Structure 1
Amino acid sequence: MKADLQQEFVKLYGKEATDTYFSPGRVNLIGEHIDYNGGLVMPCAITFGSYLLISPNNDNVFRFKSLNFSEQAEVPLNADHKKTGEVWYNYPVGVIAHFQNDGKDLQGLDMLFYGDIPIGSGLSSSASIEVVTAFALNDLFNAGYSKLDLVKLSQAVENKFIGVNCGIMDQFAVAFGEKDKALMLNCDTLEYQAVDSNLGDYLLAIINTNKPRKLAESKYNERVQECQTALAALKQELDINYLCDIDSETFDKHKHLITDAVVQGRAKHVVEENDRVKLAAKALSNNNLAEFGRLMYASHQSLRDLYEVSGIELDTVVDYAKTNPNVAGARMTGAGFGGCAIALVKKESFDKFSEEVSAHYTSKIGYAPSVYASLIGNGVGVLNEVVKS
């Protein structure tokens, strides 16, 4: 891959790149829709990601080219950097603007980006581009940021420059990911634990439903509001700041305070999902993939029935997975209403699984999903270091 990209860089810029960096995408293994409720999520880095080849120039410009997109740009070093429409290079431009606003000295760069993350799949291609750019600039110019600084900087770019009000999980996972480890992360405190997650004879199948997620944003905001309503009701008797400050047992004792049945269901999912993350960490640490798989199915059922953020596309994938003896567990991942499901599939059976889930899905939905195989990979780094580790 690196050699192929170097050839492309030479074609485009007439010289070789001096440095190559890689940042992965991510999936959330379990712990869905609880990051804004003070709970735990369990993302991991995947083996797809964003590659960045760089060479300094003496022209005082930043040049942006990509093998995935036709748009390219040449931006003066000291320009007043602003977002331009919806083009891909807004992400690296936003990172550069943040560095310069912090008073960091940069010089002109020729940059080539290439990503093998499916665009729009919910696997965090935007966070991957932000983090690989931030890491590269920090490395090249000795800017002095810690890895956590780069995570916060990348989130700030997404929030303020791009204008997407995302949480910090995506940037954190692609920066701090470790091979064969999941990250049990508290999105509020940013405390985390790297959980041993050796998948053994299994791999992570990522099934992109290829359904546009048109409902996700409006329904997301609706769920946030419903959780706030539930929290306010529970605060009548409980001294808590977040729904995830309590466990399932405490919730059962006080759920009568939430008089709306739908809102009560939303809160039940959040509290129980947070408990499932803790149980999942134990299962993975003990190499108990059967128990982890059971928790994945339970998570999906809760997201489908209590939180109502699934849909026929995601349910079709998970329902098929339950019938396949070579699948340990499956669930939707991400905001829902489309996007991706994940499944733990025996490595030797992946090709057959891919064919069968595609046929089943196509017969029911009318178009095909995209199926990918991944392991749990490393976070951002210099490409040589990523390959060696």
Structure 2
Amino acid sequence: MEAHEIHKAFIDIYGQPDLLVRSPARINLIGEHTDYNGGFVLPAAINKETYFAISGNGTRTCNVYSKHFDETVTFELDDIKPSDKSWANYLIGAVDQVQKNGYKVHGFNIVFGGNIPIGAGLSSSASVECGLIFSINELFSLGIEPVEIIKMGQKAENEFVGVQCGIMDQFINVMGKKDHALRLDCRSLEYYYFPLKLNNYCIILCNSLVSHSLATSAYNTRKEECLRGVEIIKAHYPEVESLRDVKLPMLQHLLPELGENVFNRCKFVIEENLRVLESCDQLQKGDVAGFGRNLYDSHYGLALTYKVSCPELDFLIGFTINKPQVVGARMMGGGFGGCTINIVENTYKDDFIQAISDAYQQRFEIMPEIYEVAPAEGTSEAAVSECVNTKSSL
């Protein structure tokens, strides 16, 4: 679903929109399970997007049409409450946050949809939340700063939708930069851009199309194990506030007290933070091969030390080993399903897609979904005239 389709749907329902906005999905190149441990992540916005066409309607009523679900939800600005349509709560929650922060919102009509694969772990939710807040901000000239949009988007998901996500997804959605990755310090929110120019390589995502029931419970257990590790370490090293502050020799010294499981969880997070920092240096130098090795190390740490992989993800990564045209790959996301990220030679990508699809289907009787993606700009306005021109050229 592309911008011209959203634009046309709005015209058919409401007339000409005042504004057209694009809001990207994201990948996380490296830095998994470090966010809730006060560490570093290295995401990039990508060229999969949600599009919004919006106009004010001069009332206190908001009409929201989802092109994907072919459904309209209407809500009142003076009586915000959850909808029985789960998709609508990401948008209602975003409006709720804008109002709670003291900004004057007026009624609007909106049509939204896009080409972000749902359930692939590419953060379609942050795209919807931040994309709508950005749209409202532009439409009504509210003067909301980017960091406020980020925090409102996260709070909408935490408090209204009820998903306890970190801040990475919303941050990269708003602050993404074309042809760059962004290193985010999840403790201070300081960030730096690094060039993501892979020369003769491209980024291929392989969606396993599985989500194991262990995902939520194991995720919560890992968080608890990390917190337990910090408590034990802090008793010996009072300066420690999070695993970000822990050095491997400190951890090794406390192995008997930590126990094997907690030790391993902490060890992975410490090593993953170091991999993020090293990967940034490699990208800065154009060392694609070194960056790729870090992706593999990250995956094996996730699989063997943090233990959040699954047979499907391990198969997809194993398929790439000893293929010189693939310089790096790892599982991406919380674990137990979702996508792998692969750095593949451009000249090999078609053969790679065919071969890995056939092998995965033969092994698991599932045909994976494959996406080629590229680093893109964060949420931004798209000119309606450009959309009309795009439409007329099709």
Q: Measured at CA, do residues 323 and 360 of structure 1 come closer, stay the same or move farther in structure 2, by a change above 3 Å? A: farther
Match of residue 35 from structure 1? 35
Pairing of 1:162-177 with structure 2 (within 5 A):
162-177=161-176
Match of residue 306 from structure 1? 305
Match of residue 363 from structure 1? 362
Q: Measured at CA, do residues 4 and 259 of structure 1 come closer, stay the same or move farther in structure 2, by a change above 3 Å? A: closer
Match of residue 158 from structure 1? 157
- 1:246 counterpart = 2:246: yes
Q: Secondary structure at the match of 1:46?
A: strand
Are 1:180 and 1:199, in contact at CA under 8 Å, matched by a contact in 2? no
Match of residue 136 from structure 1? 135
Pairing of 1:1-389 with structure 2 (within 5 A):
1-13=2-14, 15-78=15-78, 80-238=79-237, 239-252=239-252, 254-384=253-383
AA aligned to 2:363 is K
Q: Measured at CA, do residues 265 and 86 of structure 1 come closer, stay the same or move farther in structure 2, by a change above 3 Å? A: farther
Q: Which runs of 5+ in 2 are unaligned?
A: 387-394
Are 2:19 and 2:383, in contact at CA under 8 Å, matched by a contact in 1? no
AA aligned to 2:91 is P
- C-alpha deviation, 1:191, in angstroms: 0.8
Q: Measured at CA, do residues 258 and 34 of structure 1 come closer, stay the same or move farther in structure 2, by a change above 3 Å? A: farther
Q: Distance between the aligned counterparts of 1:249 and 1:288, measured in 2?
A: 29
Identify the range of structure 1 (261-270 vs 280-289) with the bigger mean alpha-carbon deviation: 261-270
Are 2:90 and 2:156, in contact at CA under 8 Å, matched by a contact in 1? yes
Q: After superposition, what is the alpha-carbon deviation per residue over 1:267-299, rounded to whole angstroms, capped at 9, x for unaligned?
A: 111111111111000001101000000000000
- C-alpha deviation, 1:34, in angstroms: 1.1
Q: Secondary structure at the match of 2:210?
A: coil
- C-alpha deviation, 1:368, in angstroms: 1.3
- C-alpha deviation, 1:140, in angstroms: 1.3
AA aligned to 2:8 is Q
Structure 2 length as normaliser, TM-score? 0.93
Q: After superposition, what is the alpha-carbon deviation per residue over 1:324-375, rounded to whole angstroms, capped at 9, x for unaligned?
A: 3221100011100001111111223222211111111111112111100000
Q: Measured at CA, do residues 259 and 147 of structure 1 come closer, stay the same or move farther in structure 2, by a change above 3 Å? A: closer
Q: Distance between the aligned counterparts of 1:249 and 1:208, measured in 2?
A: 37
Q: Distance between the aligned counterparts of 1:276 and 1:285, measured in 2?
A: 14
- C-alpha deviation, 1:250, in angstroms: 4.6
Are 1:204 and 1:344, in contact at CA under 8 Å, matched by a contact in 2? yes
Q: Measured at CA, do residues 219 and 62 of structure 1 come closer, stay the same or move farther in structure 2, by a change above 3 Å? A: same
- C-alpha deviation, 1:128, in angstroms: 0.5
Identify the range of structure 1 (362-371 vs 100-109) with the bigger mean alpha-carbon deviation: 100-109
Q: Distance between the aligned counterparts of 2:90 and 2:158, measured in 1?
A: 11
Are 1:92 and 1:133, in contact at CA under 8 Å, matched by a contact in 2? yes
Q: After superposition, what is the alpha-carbon deviation per residue over 1:192-223, rounded to whole angstroms, capped at 9, x for unaligned?
A: 11112212222211111100243211111100
Q: After superposition, what is the alpha-carbon deviation per residue over 1:65-110, rounded to whole angstroms, capped at 9, x for unaligned?
A: 12211331122343x1111235211111111122223332222211
Q: Measured at CA, do residues 226 and 74 of structure 1 come closer, stay the same or move farther in structure 2, by a change above 3 Å? A: same
AA aligned to 2:371 is Y
Q: Measured at CA, do residues 158 and 266 of structure 1 come closer, stay the same or move farther in structure 2, by a change above 3 Å? A: same
Q: After superposition, what is the alpha-carbon deviation per residue over 1:37-63, rounded to whole angstroms, capped at 9, x for unaligned?
A: 111111111110211011222344211
Q: Secondary structure at the match of 2:235?
A: coil
Q: Distance between the aligned counterparts of 1:344 and 1:143, measured in 2?
A: 41
AA aligned to 2:300 is Q
Q: Which runs of 5+ in 1 are unaligned?
A: none
Q: Distance between the aligned counterparts of 1:378 and 1:247, measured in 2?
A: 35
Are 1:328 and 1:344, in contact at CA under 8 Å, matched by a contact in 2? yes
AA aligned to 1:248 is L
AA aligned to 1:22 is R
Q: Distance between the aligned counterparts of 1:43 and 1:262, measured in 2?
A: 28
Q: Distance between the aligned counterparts of 2:114 and 2:6, measured in 1?
A: 11
Q: Secondary structure at the match of 1:88?
A: helix
AA aligned to 1:65 is Y
AA aligned to 1:131 is C
Q: Secondary structure at the match of 1:309?
A: coil
Q: After superposition, what is the alpha-carbon deviation per residue over 1:169-211, rounded to whole angstroms, capped at 9, x for unaligned?
A: 1100111111111111111111111112212222211111100
AA aligned to 2:10 is F
Q: Measured at CA, do residues 139 and 213 of structure 1 come closer, stay the same or move farther in structure 2, by a change above 3 Å? A: farther
AA aligned to 2:67 is L
Q: Secondary structure at the match of 1:324?
A: coil
- C-alpha deviation, 1:231, in angstroms: 1.7
Q: Secondary structure at the match of 1:94?
A: helix
Are 1:247 and 1:275, in contact at CA under 8 Å, matched by a contact in 2? no
Identify the range of structure 1 (187-196 vs 276-285) with the bigger mean alpha-carbon deviation: 187-196
Are 1:248 and 1:275, in contact at CA under 8 Å, matched by a contact in 2? no
AA aligned to 1:11 is D
Are 2:56 and 2:139, in contact at CA under 8 Å, matched by a contact in 1? no
Q: Secondary structure at the match of 1:210?
A: strand
Q: After superposition, what is the alpha-carbon deviation per residue over 1:237-266, rounded to whole angstroms, capped at 9, x for unaligned?
A: 3231111213335544x2435441122111
Q: Secondary structure at the match of 1:377?
A: coil
Q: Percent identity?
A: 37
Q: After superposition, what is the alpha-carbon deviation per residue over 1:110-156, rounded to whole angstroms, capped at 9, x for unaligned?
A: 10101211111111000100000011111111212110010001111
